[in-house]
Chain A
Amino acid sequence: MKRKPLLNTERIVALFCLALSVWIFYEASTFKGSALDSIGPALYPRLVASIIGICSIALFIKERPREDTAESAGEAPKANGKASDYKSLVIVVFALIVYSLLLKRLGFIICTILFLFSLSLYLDQRELKEKLKTAIGFSVGMSVCLYLFFAKVLGVLLPTIGLIH
């Protein structure tokens, strides 16, 4: 007979939440209160952390892993995703971060064109020849339109190249 595993995804999540609540509870002890305030800045965070802690423990207990995997999460099995799904996700997040890093150096228009162009090529599933045209048109057109609309019409101070030198 198969031995029932101690942990499943749900329980790991519950433990994570529990760890979070414990960490917050501890972190709250570093908040020094002033003499005038009888309550202190740590009470409320600790209250909230306790709620999270109690709920995580209850969640841990509730999600007892069962032998048949269809029941193991108590809900319809979510496709956990192949590696390729995560890859797209990571690339998009990475692109967003790189965009933010380069924004002040390259200025809004150039940065946006690069960002949109690279992601268009990466995410669009069509043939290279087909999507190249769209990608160029979209990235340049969108950047310019966004700049004109937000910087000129709405007055948002978007970074321009040469700001930091």
Chain B
Amino acid sequence: MYSYRFFLEGILNSLHPMVLVYMAFGMCWGMIGGAIPGISASVAMTLALPFCYGLDPMLSLPMISAVYIGAEYGGSIPAILIKTPGTASNAATVLDGYEMNRKGQGGKALFTSLYSGFVGGTISVLLLVACVIPLASFALKFGPTEYFWMILTGLSIVGTVSGKSPLKGLIAAAFGLLLAIVGTDKFASVTRFTFGIYRLREGLETIPVLVGIFAVGEVLRQVFRHEKSEAITAKVTVTYPTKKEFAAITPLAAYGGIIGAIVGALPGAGATIASWLAYSQAKMLCKNTETFGTGDIRGVAAPESSNNAVPAGALIPLLALGIPGSNSAAILMAAFGIAGISCGPLLFVNNPSIPYHLMGSMFVAQIIMLILGLLIIKPFVRITRINKVYLNLAVLMFAMIGAFSTINDVFAIYVLIFFGVVGFLMKKFGFPPAATVLGFILGELAESNLRRALQLSRGSFGIFFKGPINIVLIIITITGVLFPVIADQVKKKRKAE
């Protein structure tokens, strides 16, 4: 099959030394960033975004996805060693991982996390390769109305699923769309929401907004809560699972990988949901699950395999449809944007080497992760001894320099600070920043497709409701939005009774 041949070529391209170097850097940073509680995969990726400027996409895209993959594994380290998940997707790993550590099997748990992540991630990449071409070919039939509905579907599902309140999520997503409007309207050459500020004429730069909302917002939140870090004092030696344990966890990790790939592909569902789903599936399907929660190795293998599978899964809709499958995939989409490449089915028509190279590099990344994964445990243990104040200040410095470097102007730092405060306030009042970021990234596409469609139909909105794909997407949007709202209401009524 053609796609497998190109995929193999993509793998070979990824073995180029420069690509490997960038991936290794990205992987190390992702692992360390993911391991530091308070720096999530998204924050780690956004801090790496400024490095993509001026970089060949064949280098920058594998680097950013390596950060993503590394962070999902890295977060398991503190989860196992100090009962604190490094990223939200490692929360399930704490249950059995920390117990294993208490029993003196911390090193084995760490290796299990790495191994399961490798198995899950590899399976996920293979699924990615298998699914993306058929999906992209299907998406080539899409016209502007279909694209518009698809963006709306993705946004509304993300809005209603992320965060506690579906309504707030939708408001957050719509707010993101508004942020994308700031600037000059291409169709009519009118400035919108620029408030006379000259530098806003080109619109808001992606990096100050993203880094502001995620990284600075998170630092402000930690300052607000006076969070302190916990140091790891015990020595950690890595041990390996027995043959019997390997036999038990390998199929489980494979299954977790499939779960992670599918959940990753669904917009709005990311590594956090994937890890819990895999954990609960493991509990349901395995024998003798009474030991789950007391230090069962399978309780580490399941969530860690699925959260590592999410990056490749999230790439499926991103490459095929142009809709990121997870919050962090949206940041990867921003990396595409920095390189001047737009995601979607036309990517395979115009620039086929890029998606295949990316897929190939994700495959190679799993191997790099396996090699580096054990090497960073010692440095990480040292880093936890650093006072959180200094870590946060370092994050702020990287954020500011990163923002500054985008337009070589202090204005970018003002934007960064502004969105840092916005991100902080949003989190405080229960609005999911991830929905806003997605709306911001997809906003321009949404409007241009809307207007293109209306121009084709000469102003008639009816065009949006014609055609089978449109109808299906509308139904998916409505059910996707109403389902959590109704489920919410049902839950509340049950509580009241």
Using CB atoms and an 8 Å cutoff, list the residues of chain A in contact with chain B: 9, 13, 17, 24, 27-28, 31-34, 37-41, 43-45, 47-49, 51-52, 55-56, 58-59, 62, 74-75, 78, 81, 85-86, 88-89, 92-93, 96-97, 99-101, 103-104, 112, 116, 119-120, 123-125, 134, 138, 142, 146, 150, 154, 156-158
16 contacts between A and B (CB under 8 A): A9-B429, A33-B190, A38-B455, A39-B459, A44-B181, A45-B193, A51-B174, A52-B174, A55-B167, A55-B168, A78-B428, A89-B220, A96-B400, A112-B397, A119-B393, A146-B401
Q: Is the CB of A150 within 8 A of B171?
A: no
In the A-B complex, list the 9 residue pairs whose CB atoms are closest, starting with the nearest.
Answer: A41-B185, A123-B389, A41-B188, A156-B405, A100-B413, A51-B174, A59-B167, A44-B447, A52-B174
Binds A, one of B103-111, B221-229, B260-268: B221-229
Contacts of A81 in B (CB 8 A): 224
Binary contact track B478-490/A, C-beta < 8 Å → 1, others 0: 0000000000000
Does chain A have a CB within 8 A of B387?
A: yes
Question: What separation, in Å, do the CA atoms of A120 and B392 have in the docked complex?
Answer: 10
Does chain A have a CB within 8 A of B465?
A: no
Q: Is the CB of B174 within 8 A of A142?
A: no
Does chain A have a CB within 8 A of B454?
A: yes
Question: What separation, in Å, do the CA atoms of A141 and B190 have in the docked complex?
Answer: 47
Question: What separation, in Å, do the CA atoms of A17 and B193 have in the docked complex?
Answer: 17
Q: Is the CB of B394 within 8 A of A34?
A: no
Q: Is the CB of A89 within 8 A of B393?
A: no
Q: Is the CB of B401 within 8 A of A158?
A: yes
Q: Is the CB of A52 within 8 A of B220?
A: no
Contacts of B177 in A (CB 8 A): 48
Q: Which of A28, A39, A59, A142 contacts B454 (CB under 8 A)?
A: A39
Does chain A have a CB within 8 A of B289?
A: no
Contacts of A134 in B (CB 8 A): 387, 390
Question: What separation, in Å, do the CA atoms of A75 and B488 have in the docked complex?
Answer: 12
Question: What separation, in Å, do the CA atoms of A23 and B95 have in the docked complex?
Answer: 48
Contacts of B220 in A (CB 8 A): 89, 92-93
Contacts of A41 in B (CB 8 A): 185, 187-188, 190, 192
Q: Decide if the interface of chain B is mainly helix, strand, loop or mixed.
A: helix
Q: Is the CB of B397 within 8 A of A34?
A: no
Does chain A have a CB within 8 A of B378?
A: no
Interface size class of B (residues with CB under 8 A): 35 or more
Does chain A have a CB within 8 A of B189?
A: yes
Question: What separation, in Å, do the CA atoms of A55 and B430 have in the docked complex?
Answer: 14
Contacts of B410 in A (CB 8 A): 100-101, 103-104
Contacts of A112 in B (CB 8 A): 397
Q: Which of A37, A48, A62, A85 contacts B187 (CB under 8 A)?
A: A37
Q: Is the CB of B387 within 8 A of A124?
A: yes
Q: Is the CB of A45 within 8 A of B405?
A: no
Of B189, B219, B224, the most chain A CB neighbours within 10 A belong to: B224
Contacts of B405 in A (CB 8 A): 150, 154, 156
Question: What separation, in Å, do the CA atoms of A16 and B458 have in the docked complex?
Answer: 36
Which of chain A's residues has its CB closest to B394's CB?
Answer: A142
Q: Is the CB of B389 within 8 A of A120?
A: yes
Closest CB in chain B relative to A32 CB, distance in Å: 6
Given A39-B455, A81-B224, A112-B397, the answer on whether A48 and B188 have CB atoms closer than 8 Å is no
Q: Is the CB of B417 within 8 A of A97?
A: yes
Q: Is the CB of B192 within 8 A of A85?
A: no
Which of chain A's residues has its CB closest to B389's CB?
Answer: A123
Question: What separation, in Å, do the CA atoms of A110 and B459 have in the docked complex?
Answer: 57
Contacts of B188 in A (CB 8 A): 31-34, 37, 40-41
Which of chain A's residues has its CB closest to B189's CB?
Answer: A34
Closest CB in chain A relative to B473 CB, distance in Å: 17
Question: What separation, in Å, do the CA atoms of A49 and B410 have in the docked complex?
Answer: 30
Question: What separation, in Å, do the CA atoms of A18 and B493 have in the docked complex?
Answer: 27
User: 20 more A-B contacts (CB under 8 A) besides A85-B226, A100-B417, A146-B397?
Assistant: A13-B429, A32-B190, A37-B451, A41-B187, A44-B451, A48-B174, A48-B181, A51-B171, A52-B171, A52-B174, A55-B167, A75-B430, A88-B224, A89-B224, A112-B397, A116-B393, A123-B393, A138-B393, A150-B405, A158-B401
Does chain A have a CB within 8 A of B385?
A: no
Does chain A have a CB within 8 A of B341?
A: no
Q: Is the CB of B396 within 8 A of A45?
A: no
Question: What separation, in Å, do the CA atoms of A123 and B387 have in the docked complex?
Answer: 10
Which of chain B's residues has its CB closest to A92's CB?
Answer: B223
Q: Which of B190, B417, B455, B459 contacts A96 (CB under 8 A)?
A: B417
Question: What separation, in Å, do the CA atoms of A43 and B417 have in the docked complex?
Answer: 30
Contacts of B190 in A (CB 8 A): 31-34, 41
Q: Is the CB of B223 within 8 A of A89?
A: yes
Question: What separation, in Å, do the CA atoms of A125 and B390 have in the docked complex?
Answer: 12
Which of chain A's residues has its CB closest to B168's CB?
Answer: A59
Closest CB in chain A relative to B440 CB, distance in Å: 12
Within 8 A of A (CB), among B324-375: none
Contacts of B414 in A (CB 8 A): 97, 100
Question: What separation, in Å, do the CA atoms of A62 and B164 have in the docked complex?
Answer: 14
Q: Is the CB of B171 within 8 A of A56?
A: yes
Contacts of A24 in B (CB 8 A): 178, 193
Q: Is the CB of B397 within 8 A of A51?
A: no
Of A27, A48, A124, the most chain B CB neighbours within 10 A belong to: A48
Closest CB in chain B relative to A9 CB, distance in Å: 8
Closest CB in chain B relative to A106 CB, distance in Å: 12
Contacts of A48 in B (CB 8 A): 174, 177-178, 181
Question: What separation, in Å, do the CA atoms of A96 and B416 have in the docked complex?
Answer: 10
Does chain A have a CB within 8 A of B424?
A: yes
Contacts of B178 in A (CB 8 A): 24, 45, 48-49, 52
Contacts of B459 in A (CB 8 A): 38-39
Does chain A have a CB within 8 A of B421?
A: yes
Q: Is the CB of B167 within 8 A of A157?
A: no
Which of chain B's residues has its CB closest to A80's CB?
Answer: B428
